[in-house]
Structure 1
Amino acid sequence: MGRAVESDLVERLLDGEHRALARVITKIESQSPGYRDIVSEIHAHTGHASVVGITGSPGAGKSTLVDKLAKHYRDQGETVGVIAVDPSSPYTGGAVLGDRIRMASNVGDMDVFFRSMSARGQLGGLSTATADAVKALDAFGKDRIIIETVGAGQNEVDVVKTADTVVVLVQPGSGDDVQMLKAGILEIGDVFVVNKADMEGASRTVAELQEMIHLRDDDPTKGLNMGHHGAGAMSETPGHGGQDGHGGHGGQDGHGGHGGHSGHSGHDSHGHGGSPHDEDTDAPDEGEAKPTWTPQVVETIATTGEGIETLAETLGDHYTYLSESGELEVKARQRAGEEIRQLLRSDVNRLLERELDRRGGIEQFARAVVDKETDPYAVTEDVLEPLRECLEDGDD
């Protein structure tokens, strides 16, 4: 009976019923019985939406930017899903900020689905529930999915596991650029947005970001540990795209673009980084050099919407690069692999916790270790032995 009810819920979601979508995401977040069956059923209907992760320090204006970006997509006739990963409540584990009233430009628009979700104790990180919620929005038929993360430091790198394109927001004059480099955020950003570009110090922040990108692209080890993020804006051969960090000044439309590609410049006065993609570029044949991507820098003033169109075009350029270079498929495989590992770790951990409880609980083992009756390694071997034997028997 339960399985039939869940199948009915999935059918309603696939039919475009917003109420069913909300219920599915609630089940996913609370890990209600049967939620895995739901995710399994909708899996075959995913893979159509483009997913953008937006991260950056608190106060950088992420929520306002997400609001205006969603409005831009709606003006283009596209449907949007927004997941805001909020700080977890220390009491309930739920999102502290709840469904924040921050989508002012999209109030009453049923084609913008907004949901706050708890980071479940991993500030800046994306829980498994968030990744499954993205699948629900994708299967529902949303054209664009935006994930806004908490913005709390090192754990922001988790956004890479779920998003096709990673946008990092920087606030002028706050020292965020240096902090990003320390936290490793520079390595995951595909597009950098200097928001509040009307503030003093915006030009300096843009220049510093360009220099940091330039230094990263000059790092001979970047290709060894950075995946597609170590690639240099889209070009047919390595070295194009203004690797001096200031290429593309005074491009074809007269707007100076930093880090441009083959003479192209920014889309407008807020486009730093140029247009990294030629419209008639075909996917490379076997043996040809793959297109590469140098992170772009875009200036915006989210409160007024200035620069949002340029940002949307740059995001489109990056998605085109991912599709034509084959990186989109590579990233999908990487995400699937990481998800399998995460689920295995989670499930095995639960099995082992039950085994510990069956044997008297962790406190009993800890007491024995402190009393020098045994040691942590011996306890681990003892608890894992049945699982190891079971897996080894399977090999036979």
Structure 2
Amino acid sequence: MLKGKKIAVYITGGIAAYKAADLVRRLIKQGAEVRVAMTKAATEFITPYTLQILSKNEVFTNVFEDKDPAEVSHIHLADWSELAVVAPATANVMAKMAHGIADDFVTTTLLATTAPVFIVPAMNTHMLENPATVRNWERLEQDGHFVMEPDTGFLAEGYEGRGRFPEPEAIVEAIQEYLIRQQTDLPLSGKKVVVTAGGTKERIDPVRYITNDSSGKMGYQLAMAARDKGAKVVLISASTQLKHPFGMEVVAVESAQQMSDAVFKEFESADIVIMAAAVSDYTPETQATQKIKKKENQMVISLAKTQDILATMGQQKSHQFLVGFAAETHDVAEYAMGKLEKKNADMIVANDVSKPHAGFNKETNEVTLFSKDTPPIELSVRSKRDIADSIIQEVIQKLSK
């Protein structure tokens, strides 16, 4: 999302200025090209040289210092940028921006900027909640700028309050979500995509359960790939080990029954459903309410079949595009084609989970896409995100037909 994006970062004079170094580093790590401008007050908290080393670009601090006679630096930076990020944004700079005051390099450049402006306030609670700051915040939003809600936490003054600078990772995620929302022509804009992920757990008693090796990584990558194509995503997750992705609704479930309930709650309004979760085929007929104590050398557990969620959706679908997964250890193509027919799915993503570079708990995968109207498509070993992007792209192509 940020790869190749030209981002101007404007650092103003608050104690949180030191965190801007991490923000710049994270933006660059996401593939952005970053240039930095600082107010004079900001240079009291962190040196321009630090930002110069991180960004590998000259840092602008003086509106009257044009290194290239052929360019007016503040206009050139304003024209160059595809996104302006003001972080941290002090009450002073927010007031200047709201009223069109341009008295230093940062505010002069921002006044000339036509690209989207993303503002991250950071200040003392009382300054943030002062009626003047509240009015300025509202005015900035009325002018079309995005103002990120600051965190509530321990402030530099030594007490808890609203106004803390968000963690740089959260800012990068918010920027990405903002940019996605700015694009209304993405291929899945207006579409609702439901993705399931992880391995369900079927309780035997309060401390034991039946499950499988699914980590949920493939499902999470599919959810993020759909989000980045503009979709409204609902991720139904049986995984508790993975961080929730930004920009989507995440529904936590545990059992196959909970997974089924969550899926069918979203099914009617969904355009695409991707069943990447490894749903348990069987569940204990009875679940003990207390831990079962060891008594005999053997214990027999009676199991009952769980609902086949994909097959039920295949019977009920009206407009939904259904994608199922087939995790096999042998005869992959045969089982996948059989599943495609029996479940009435539109696509089956099949893989051999016995391979060392594919399947459960791996960072890479190797899959084959089976559809009724096209020959199988083989996706060789690559990252799960690359696999997810290819699957989503294939779904988009089929929907366009």
Q: Is the structural similarity TM-score above 0.5?
A: no
Question: Higher strand fraction: Structure 1 or Structure 2?
Answer: 2
TM-score normalised to the size of structure 2?
A: 0.30
TM-score normalised to the size of structure 1?
A: 0.30
Question: Higher helix fraction: Structure 1 or Structure 2?
Answer: 1
